[in-house]
Amino acid sequence: MAARILGWLALVALLAGLGAAFGYAPREAVQGNVQRIVYLHVPAVLTAYLAFALVFVGSLGYLLTRRPGWDRLALSAAEPGVVFTGITIASGSIWGKPTWGTWWTWDARLTSTAVLFLVYVGYLLLRGMIDEPDRRARAAAVVGILGAANIPIVHFSVSWWRALHQPSAMIGPGSAPYPWWMKAVILLNFAAFALLLGYFVARRAEIARLEDMHAG
Amino acid sequence: MIATGLDARRGPMRPLPASDLMVQAEHLRKTYGPTRVLDDVSLALGPGEGLTLLGPNGTGKTTLLRILATLQRPTAGTLRIGGVDALKEPEAVRGVVDMVGHGTWVYEDLTAIENLRFWTTLGGHDAARPRLRAALESVELDTVADQRARTFSAGMKRRLALARVLLGRGRLLLLDEPFTGLDRAGRKWLGEFLMAFKAQGGALIVATHSFDAGVGVADRVAILAGGRVVLDRPAAELGLDDLRRLYDELAAGPGTAP
Amino acid sequence: MSAYVRRAWIVVWKDVLSERRSKESLNALVFFSLLLLFVFQFALGPDRARVETALPGLLWLAFILAGLLAFGRTFLVERENDCWEGLVLAPGDRSAIYLGKLAGNVLLMAVVEAALLILFALFFGLDFTAALPALVLVLALGTLGLAAVGTLYGALTAQLRARELLFPVLLLPAVVPVLLGAVTATQSVLAGQPLAEAMPWLTLLAAADVVYLVVGMLTFEFVLEG
């Protein structure tokens, strides 16, 4: 029930966000329409962070209470989290291509996000390798907790590292600050993605619950 | 308490909240996916009591012992050990339970006495050399105290494990097939060891498919078949022949009429 | 000595004793380091300037590769001797076991890293003596971070079928900050810069070490069950 409401809200918000990204936001002078990808790129990475925060909460919850519901939350958030991370990387890459001429640069956000991607793909791989529910949940929880605790550390280390090697910043992927209306559209899309995340998590958790019931 | 040679070396038992029963397991169930290894197993055991758990291999004896040892969590059911909820507080229970299972916890590159020193210190007990040596004497391994465990036979490793038990302060001893690999003298020795353990107030559960040796130490006998306890009676009530007959019938599986 | 420290210490004692008797890990790791040297040389070619430029990265590449081997084997002796359950059932705070295993790993890596430094100096004609104290500090902080995560994940994957695959897959992304910090700091130190230059990185390393240690100590008991 909750999932369905979230789903509809997400759809409405996504349409609004899409409209704002293409209709309301102006075309950027230097980069052209490709710059609009920021309205996908930044909300995606923010939503990924939100997803991994949920993984952290679920992991902690399971270790403290041993109730499977928490583990299901962690799993259900990790999968879309990885997807949103992938979207962040892909959109960043696509954005960078016309601007910088290459598909990949070791730009701070892109690199951090790539590391995050690797961490949580590892999380999902680990889950796939353990059959026993309690052991799987415990092992995943430990990785989920360390992964989340590592996010700020990764962020700082990569930014500093990049600052050593990066020429002066230019408007493009990874640069800030954004004018107020850009922030507004980004926020709108973030809200839409967050609702979408909520929808995915709710649905996936329900499937997981049914799977557990069937197995037990 | 009866003063046996074992007594003096064991030291005082660890104090626990008072409880009538040492083990109180109710409706334990363990499933691995679609396989139901244990189904509605209930057990009760008091201090100084010995329970022999009989059953053919693969019927869940080891799983049950591992659950009682808090090595595994049951899918359902409750378990109290020494009055403490073992599922909520496995930590509190671990100092009280000792298990001698298939793995004997022997580091092959270490000598007998070094092995004891490791496990005893890890368990938080006094690991003074004289105490370790005395334990080795009790299990008749003092002659090989400084030999690397790599050279030990299976029986010797098991005796080393029992020396480890002596140095701890466990009140519940779980043994999984302890008689395999022991010759007649070894079995006799182990039987005496277990009787002395019970005499001191310890409780024990011996899981075995070896009929004769296991029953000797039992105050109660239970038969585990198909994941269920199909018999649980005081040993005194049953003659050995009756027990053997029942065992053959029940262990053959459900559907065979007694 | 408090009981906690005594228990951590006995784990180190046992591991050092086992290793000294069996000599499995240390010999193989040092030999592995020697092999790495040759591989690096062949991969980079004879140009010595090239090696010197790449040196900080090469060093840490070697440390991480050796670390993957070393940390993956953290609980091998328990697995081989069927002693894992003994650790699981050990009463009391099991983070003492984590610290003991961690200390053992750090000791092992210290020997391997020293051997690597000597080998690098010998084979590539390098001189570390001027930078040595600062270098040791960087090595210590970096190794601690690697070992903190390595010991935790080593335990986590110890009982898994796909251990050899999963362990590097889990460890490497998690220690990216350590790698970045350690390589940058090593570069600064080897270039003869004063320690103050590398200080922000050393602080980052230290902060990361603390986080990893705390997570390791708090979560180890959950890894060690069943």
Render pLDDT for B45-87 as a digit per residue (tens, 0 to 9): 888 889 988 887 777 888 899 999 998 888 889 999 988 888 8
- Predicted local confidence at residue B104, as pLDDT: 83
Mean local confidence (pLDDT), C196-218:
94
What pLDDT is stored for residue A17 in this prediction? 82
Q: What integer is the mean pLDDT of B141-164?
A: 90
Please name the residues between 71 and 130 in chain A that touch chain C, using a CB distance below 8 Å.
115, 118-119, 122, 125-126, 129-130
Domain count across chain C: 1
pLDDT of residue B251: 62
pLDDT of B170 > 50? The answer is: yes
Q: Which two tokens stand for residue A131?
A: 């059959």
B218 CA: distance to closest CA in chain C (Å):
26
CA–CA gap between residue B40 and residue B76 (Å, rounded): 9
Find chain C residues with C-beta within 8 A of A160's C-beta: 180, 184, 200-201, 204
- The residues near B40 (Cβ < 8 Å, ≥ 6 apart) are B27, B28, B29, B77, B228
- Which residues have a Cβ under 8 Å from the Cβ of A162 and sit 6 or more positions away? A106, A107, A108, A111
Do B73 and A132 lie within an 8 Å CB cutoff?
no
Q: What is the DSSP letter of B144?
A: G
C-alpha–C-alpha distance, residues C194 and C112, integer Å: 26
Listed range (A68-77, A124-133, C192-201, C216-225) with the worst mean pLDDT: C192-201
In this predicted model, what pLDDT tens digit does every residue of B92-116 receive, in sequence order? 888 889 899 887 899 999 999 999 9
For position B127, which CATH number holds?
3.40.50.300
CB distance C160–A130 less than 8 Å?
Answer: yes
Given a cut of 80, whether residue B20 has pLDDT beyond it is no
Q: Is the pLDDT of residue C35 over 60?
A: yes
Domain assignment present for residue B155? The answer is yes
Tell me: pLDDT of A19 over 90. Answer: no
B107: containing domain: 20-251
CA distance C61 to A24: 49
Decide if B13 is inside a domain: no
Query: Searching chain A, which residue's CA lies closest to the CA of residue C156?
Result: A139
Distance (Å, rounded) from C-alpha C219 to C-alpha B160? 32
Indicate the residue of C21, C83, C91 with minimum beta-carbon distance to B124.
Answer: C91
Contact (CB<8Å) B121/C17: no
Q: What b/e string do you get for B4-33 counting C-beta neighbours within 10 Å, with b at 16 or more?
A: bebeebbeeeeebeeeebbbbbeebbbbee
Chain C interface includes A166 (CB < 8 A): no
- Indicate which of B67, B97, B107 best probes the interface with C, i.e. most C CBs within 10 Å of its own CB: B107
Please give the residue that has the higher pLDDT: either A137 or B251. A137
Instruction: Indicate if the pLDDT at residue A165 is higher than 80.
Output: no
pLDDT bucket at B5, cuts 50 / 70 / 90: very low
8 Å CB contact of A154 and C176: yes
Number of cross-chain residue pairs from B and C with Cβ atoms under 8 Å apart: 75
Q: Which chains neighbour C (Cβ–Cβ under 8 Å, 3 or more pairs)?
A: A, B
The span from the CA of C83 to the CA of B62, in Å, is 17
Nearest CA in chain B to A134: B73
Torsion of CA C117, C121, C127, C131, to 10 degrees: -10
Rounded CA-CA distance B68/C156 in Å is 23
pTM summary value: 0.89
Q: Is B73 on the interface with A (CB under 8 A)?
A: yes
Rounded average pLDDT over C148-176? 93
Q: What is the mean pLDDT of residues A2-6?
A: 82
- The CA distance from C11 to C90, in Å, is 12
The predicted-structure confidence for B177-220, as pLDDT tens digits, reads as follows 888 877 788 888 888 888 888 888 889 999 887 767 667 788 88
Question: Are the C-beta atoms of residues A28 and A172 closer than 8 Å to each other?
Answer: no
Contact of A63 with chain C, judged by CB distance below 8 Å, is answered with: yes
**Cα separations in angstroms, B31 against A73, B169, B228:** 23, 32, 13
CB A197 within 8 A of CB A80: yes
Write out chain B residues lying below 8 Å of A71, CB-based: none
Percent of chain A with pLDDT over 90: 47
B105: exposed, middle or buried (Cβ count in 10 Å: 0-12, 13-18, 19+): buried
Distance of CA B243 to the CA centre of its chain: 21
Show residues of chain C in contact with B69, CB under 8 Å: 89
Mean pLDDT of chain B: 81
- Nearest of B37, B46, B35, B90 to residue B68 by alpha carbon: B90
Overall domain count for chain B: 1
State how far the Cα of C80 lies from the Cα of B116, in Å rounded to an integer.
18
Confidence band for A38, pLDDT divided at 50, 70 and 90:
confident
Asked if A158's CB is within 8 angstroms of C226's CB, the reply is no
The Cα–Cα gap between C24 and A181 comes to: 64
Over residues A57-78, the mean pLDDT reads 95
Which residues in chain B have their CB less than 8 angstroms from residue C82's CB? 102-106
Query: Which chain A residues are closer than 8 Å to B33 by Cβ?
Result: 131, 215
Chains that touch B (3 or more CB pairs under 8 A): A, C
- The confidence band for C222, taking pLDDT boundaries of 50, 70 and 90, is very high
The alpha carbon of residue A136 is apart from the nearest alpha carbon of chain B, in Å, by 13
Q: What residues in B contact A214, CB-CB < 8 Å?
A: none
Please identify which residue in the block is written with the tokens 């990475």: A45
Q: Which domain holds residue C62?
A: 3-223
pLDDT of the residue at B18: 47
How far does C103 lie from chain B, in Å, by closest CA? 16
How many CB atoms within 10 Å of residue B133? 17
Q: pLDDT > 70: what percent of chain C?
A: 100
Q: Which residue carries 């062949």 as its tokens?
A: C42
Residue from C83, C97, C224 to probe the interface with B (highest B Cβ count within 10 Å)? C83
B114 touches chain C (CB under 8 A): yes
Going by pLDDT thresholds of 50, 70 and 90, the confidence category of residue A80 is very high
pLDDT band at B253 (very low <50, low <70, confident <90, very high): low
Instruction: Report the pLDDT averaged over residues C164-191.
Output: 94
Residue B230 pLDDT greater than 80, yes or no: no
Q: Tell me, yes or no, if A164 comes closer than 8 A to chain C by beta carbon.
A: yes
Strand, helix or coil for residue B124:
coil
Shortest Cα–Cα distance, B32 to chain A (Å): 7
